[in-house]
Structure 1
Amino acid sequence: MNDPHAHTPGLAGAELDFNAWAFWSSADEARQQAQRRHQQTLTDRGAELADRSFVSEWAACFPDTLTLGAGSYLAAFSYVTGDVHIGARSSVNAYAVVRGRVRIGDGVRIGAHTSLLGFDHTFAPDRPVHSQPLTSRGITVGEDVYIGSHVMVLDGVTIGAHSVIGAGAVVTKDVPEWSIMVGNPARRVRDRRQEHPTTAPPPPRTGPDRPADPVETLRQLADRARSEATDVLGRCWNPDEGWFTDTPGAAPTVRALCDAVEIADLLGLGTPPQLGRDEIITALTCRQDPTTGLIPAYGEQTVTQDGPDLGGGPVRYHLLCVGYALDLLGARLAHPITAVDALRGDTMAAALDAQPWAERAWGAGDWVDCVGTGLLWNRLWFDRPGGLDTLIGWLHLNVDRRSGMWGAPHASDGLRQPVNGFYRLTRGTFAQFGLSLPEPERAIDTTLAHAQDQRRFGTGRATACDVLDIAHPLWLAGQQSDHRRDEARAWAATQVPRLTAAWHPGQGFGFAQRSDQHGPAAPGLQGTEMWLAITWYLADLLGGSGALGYEPRGVHRPWAR
């Protein structure tokens, strides 16, 4: 009869199953032979295990396919299923979960209790959740990545090489290389290659021989915005409607809620304090027209289209702001955007030909931006490739090789139409899909020429659109070329004093930089979201965006989605 009080060894001899990096240098010959037998069992089932890899006998390892590189290990109580490929010198530590289609590079560290879930359940309302099918886009982790403990990485995410994911982060979207990410949802706080921004004030840099450091000035502006974020959002909340307005007393709009979501994400609040994540997701997804996939104006039920116009400017912009607000929240639209999916082949080319390139290139660029974003969501969320190849091909064939732009200047407003149209067009296509511009150096020349137009950029005359439509093209083309980089930096530095002077304490930015605070100059959500994005682009052009502690992840994100 067994003595119920007798001591049992439990995990007393399992230290090397947890500290698996030391197994092959510390285990005795009997333990090593037992590991080889265990690995033979796994290879007999189809696993590919390289030299000096290790799989704890305490690991729940039930993959369909498994490749484990040299020197890599699965520690005790890790849980591995699905189609998993792990490179050399990588580790899956105790209680970590790797499931679904997952590709992990060389030199990756995955902390305890972290989950990489390369699959998901659908949740359509037509059947119980337990009856829903599984979907899988897979997860990719580049080389030299450190993922801390208690991190959640969701299906469809790619984590770029050399990145660090802080403990407890929830990674819902792609991570650029060299990123340091924290929070739920995870946000990029700086570039790993840059020194950590100090929290103590730097030595004074003012005076005739020590001009103010523009990056430090932008850092202080970002800190101020973070400290006042709750007030900025609170003043634009309409409790009677249960919705946000752009400015206090204005009518509620779909964009205002989306801008609130973006500001909360930028400034570290996670979500606006007035609404929970699920409330926002429901409020946005339920507005989508299931027939066209478009999102009507606030208070409307349907979208009226005139041909392929997607409902006109303000309504079609919802494809951007609603899509990215949901993306920031780890959600998606409920229905494919069929109005965009229908634009394929000759239909797409004809719609492009019909845009007002000669008269209103800005409006034409707006249409391309919205179409490109609709194509993005259809591809990411509904596996519909659509007419992207036709769109990109048409743009390559029709770019003006002299200016690097699409469309023509006018005597009345100079280069404003083609340059602002260039920003909208390239944001939704080349930038959003990570594609190279056809004429980056000519685009830089044209953009810098437009930046000298005092009709738009004289003191008190600039708007968020006009400045963003300089900053982003210079940044985007600058990813391909060093052409006139010093001039781009000099332009960015000139914008910093104007930008910092335009912040209204507790209220944010107005869309226009005028000092009267009336009309477009009134502080509101649209102006605040756009100028905060501009702040990041100016800082990055100056080589110091890591000091800000944030990076745009929504409509104005710098990196491909």
Structure 2
Amino acid sequence: MDHHERHSVKHFDHCPWLFAGEATQEQRLAQRERQQAVGGDAEFGERCYVADSAAVFPDRLRLGDDSYIAAHAYVTGELTTGTDCTLNPFTTVRGTVTLGDGVRIGAHTSMLGFNHTMAPDRPVFRQPLTSRGIKVGDDVWIGSNVVVVDGVTIGDHCVVGAGAVVTRDLPAWTVAAGNPARPLRDRRHGSTGSAGKPGGAGNDLTRFADTARAQAADILARCWDGDRYTDRPGAAPTMRAHCDAVEIADLLLGSAPPQLAAEEHVRRLSAAQDPVSGLVPEFGEPLPSEDDTGLTGSGAALYHILSVGYALDLLGSSFPHPVRGVQDITAGQLVVRLEDLPWRDNAWTAGAWIDAWATAAHWNLRHGEDAASGSLEALFGWLLTRADPWTGVWGSPSAEAGRLQVVNGYYRLTRGSFAQFGVPVPHPERVVDTVLAHAHDARHFGSGQRNACNVLDVAHPLWLCSRQLATGTGGDGYRSADIRAWAEQQLTAVLSAWQDGQGFGFGAGAVGPGPRPGLQGTEMWLAIVWYLADLLGRSDELGYRPRGVHRPEPARALPGAPLSSPSPVPR
């Protein structure tokens, strides 16, 4: 092969990285004309190359310095790249696609940042197009023959194996492959492998837990203002922050938080309970108004039934007084209240009320307040007959939030009732289907959208139903591969979110304390890590097990009924 043939346009089209260093002046002028001939709103950085054989018809194109579009690529829509990006031969990039710096896209790969709607009232080719776009971070290698669909975000430093079909977001540093693509390992950690094998995310669990234990005392001290606990430095002290500190210390240190003696923790938490109503208001706030049952309808005092009650339990104590609104209610009154809960529009609020009511019933039983009125049995009777047999949940989804309300409400409801009292949930297969469908909703689980509530409210129902469905099967449970794939993806993202000396941030969104590291985020994500690891059969590597609000075992049996003891998920 002579010198001219080696440096022909055809040669550069297929090896565009050679152009900047080896092209003749004539070829450089021709390339400049080629770029100027690209239609649409197009801008090119320094030392870019667009193959003569590439079909480039953008609405908007921004090609960063040292970036290339190689032979026979097909580019339409809106493409924006950082520096040092390569679209190798026969790649297809359509719709809205944004690439960071240093992105390599292998031959025959398709980045499809648009979609058709699929309404049944007209042929598909007449359907309107939608576009949520594709976003790719810095330092990403996407192999050959990969398909990335609309709405996906691929984080910094990811590697996507050849032939993968990427339908879900990939957190930073993920190595993924398969159809659909699944995380195999964290790129920062040595050898290849999948979770549950050498090099997989599971191998990081012991190291993560050791790190968390070593830093737990500093995290607690960081949120102690000298007199009380705050969620994070600069925030106001709250009752929940004190309870979160107790949970974290119990989980990681096996003791009370070191800022106070255990007896002082008990004294402060016990003294906060109102002796008449049995409720615990927020610091400096009056007792909340009561609903018709004598229990508050919402707010911090409702959650304090859980958080303060279990903090005292972890410290070897309990509420000094029963909760009157649960002690005095009759079965008939409870049924009326259940019917009045906002199931259609706010299933989470309905589930949170039941969680608090059932947990209060649990604490009252410790006081010898036997549910002679039959209200506890009425609760389970009502719930068992009202669960939707098609979805397994209570309440209705909405166009605005999808299944968020019903899934998050399901977690709160079942945590305090079925899980806490060891009663099997109804329709567990349908619950798994509903929860997994919700877990793929990019509005709540897309890049930058996750928070501790949303992930916990998926992980716990999947764990609870998986245990129930696994009983006596002798093999893998219902949709266990899908459950493990989701758990694997989430665990990879969670472990990389730990911030040394500070713990976890709660996460994005208007709910909760936000993304800054704090006690609530740390307490919740530590429990989530356990549930995700247990779904993968690796929770033993953590060396801890939740014992408080997020305890996996039932706290007691329903009076007059045997304690349910479902088998673990098959490994």
User: TM-score scaled by structure 2?
Assistant: 0.60
Counterpart contact for 1:295–1:303, Cα < 8 Å: no
Secondary structure of 2:468's aligned partner = coil
Of structures 1 and 2, the larger Rg is shown by: 2
- What is the letter of the counterpart of residue 238 of structure 1? D
What residue number does 2:402 align with?
414
What's the CA shift for 1:211? 7.1
- Secondary structure of the corresponding residue to residue 398 of structure 2: coil
Partner of 2:283: 298
2:533 partner amino acid: A
Return the offset for 1:208.
7.4
How many Å separate the matches in 2 of 1:381 and 1:217?
Answer: 43
Match of 1:251 in 2: 236
- What is the match of residue 386 of structure 2? 398
The corresponding residue for 1:463 is 451
1:450 and 2:438 are equivalent in the alignment: yes
Matched, 1:326 2:326: no
Kindly provide the CA deviation profile for residues 257-282 of structure 1, in whole angstroms up to 9, marking residues without a partner as x: 00000000000240101011110111
What SS is found at the alignment partner of 1:407?
A: coil
User: Which stretch of structure 1 is more off in the superposition, 533-542 or 260-269?
Assistant: 260-269
Which residue type is aligned with residue 266 of structure 2? Answer: I
Q: Does 1:478 align with 2:466?
A: yes
Secondary structure at the counterpart of residue 395 of structure 2: coil
Residue matched to 1:132: none
Distance 1:287 1:208, change over 3 A: closer
2:329 is aligned, of 338, 343, 346, to: 343
| Whole-angstrom CA distance in 2 between matches of 1:293 and 1:519 | 27
Please tell me whether residue 354 in structure 1 is matched to residue 340 in structure 2: yes
Q: Pairwise mapping of residues 107-126 of structure 1 onto structure 2 (< 5 A)?
A: none
Q: 1:473 and 1:519, CA in 2 relative to 1: closer, same or farther beyond 3 A?
A: closer
Cα deviation 1:412-447 (Å, max 9, x = unaligned)? 011111100000000000000011011111100100
8 Å CA contact retained: 1:246, 1:525: yes
RMSD value, Cα: 1.7
User: Which of 287, 291, 295 pairs up with 2:272?
Assistant: 287
User: Structure 1 regions of 5+ residues with no counterpart?
Assistant: 1-203
Q: Conserved in 1, the CA contact under 8 Å of 2:193 and 2:199?
A: no
Distance, in Å, in 2 between the alignment partners of 1:323 and 1:519 is 22
Equivalent position to 2:516, from 522, 528, 534: 522
Q: Where do 1:261-280 residues align within 5 Å?
A: 261-280=246-265
Match of 1:218 among 202, 205, 212: 205
Point out the more displaced range, 494-503 or 319-328. 494-503
Q: Percent identity?
A: 50
* Matched residue type, 1:408: S
Aligned residue in 2 for 1:76: none
Distance (Å, rounded) in 1 between the aligned partners of 2:394 and 2:242? 32
How far apart, CA to CA, are the structure 1 residues paired with 2:330 and 2:421? Answer: 18
Q: Displaced runs of 4+ in structure 1, greater than 6 A?
A: 208-211
Q: 1:486 to 1:208 in 2, by over 3 A?
A: closer
Distance 2:434 2:299 in 1: 25
C-alpha distance in 1, partners of 2:193/2:275? 62
1:85 corresponds to: none
Q: Deviation at 1:367?
A: 0.4
Give the letter aligned to residue 554 of structure 1. G
Q: Does 1:233 align with 2:233?
A: no
User: CA shift at 1:519, angstroms?
Assistant: 5.7
Aligned to 1:495: 490
> In structure 1, what is the equivalent of residue 6 of structure 2?
none
Structure 1 residue 343 displacement after superposition: 2.6
Of 426, 434, 439, which residue of structure 1 is paired with 2:414?
426
Partner of 2:360: 374
Q: Which amino acid aligns with 2:522?
A: T
Q: Report the alpha carbon displacement of residue 383 of structure 1 after superposing the two structures with TM.
A: 3.4
Contact 2:231/2:520, CA 8 A, preserved across alignment: yes
Q: Which amino acid aligns with 1:265?
A: D
Shift of 1:218: 2.3
- Deviation of the 1:291 alpha carbon: 1.1
How far, CA to CA, are the matches of 2:513 and 2:394 in structure 1? 31
Q: Is the 8 A contact 2:487 2:532 kept in 1?
A: yes
Q: Is residue 552 of structure 1 aligned with residue 546 of structure 2? A: yes
Could you tell me how far apart the structure 2 residues matched to 1:383 and 1:438 are? 28
Q: Which structure 2 residue ranges, 5 or more long, are not aligned?
A: 1-188, 470-476, 556-571
Contact residue 323 and residue 364 of structure 2 kept, 8 A = yes
Secondary structure of 1:332 counterpart: coil
Within 2, Cα distance between the matches of 1:558 and 1:361? 23
With structure 1 as the length reference, what TM-score do the two structures score?
A: 0.61
The answer on 1:307 being equivalent to 2:292 is: yes
Q: Following TM superposition, by how much is the alpha carbon of 1:538 offset from its aligned partner in structure 2, in angstroms?
A: 0.5
* Residue correspondence of structure 1 range 79-158 to structure 2 within 5 A: none
Whole-angstrom CA distance in 2 between matches of 1:358 and 1:236: 39
**Contact persistence 1:289–1:301 (CA under 8 A):** no
Superposed counterparts of 1:64-83, under 5 Å: none
How far did 1:344 drift?
2.2
Distance 1:467 1:275 in 2: 32
Deviations 1:387-424 (A, max 9, x none): 21010110001000000000000000111111000000
SS at match of 1:319: helix
**Per-residue deviation, residues 114-141 of structure 1 (Å, max 9, x unmatched):** xxxxxxxxxxxxxxxxxxxxxxxxxxxx
- Are the aligned partners of 1:405 and 1:422 in contact in 2 as well (CA < 8 Å)? yes
Q: Distance in 1 between matches of 2:489 and 2:319?
A: 40
Deviation at 1:313, TM superposition (A): 2.6
- Amino acid of the structure 2 residue aligned with 1:531: W
- Other structure's SS at 1:547 match: helix
Secondary structure at the residue paired with 1:317? helix
2-side partners of 1:448 and 1:552: how far apart? 24
Secondary structure, in 3 states, of the residue corresponding to 2:544? Answer: coil
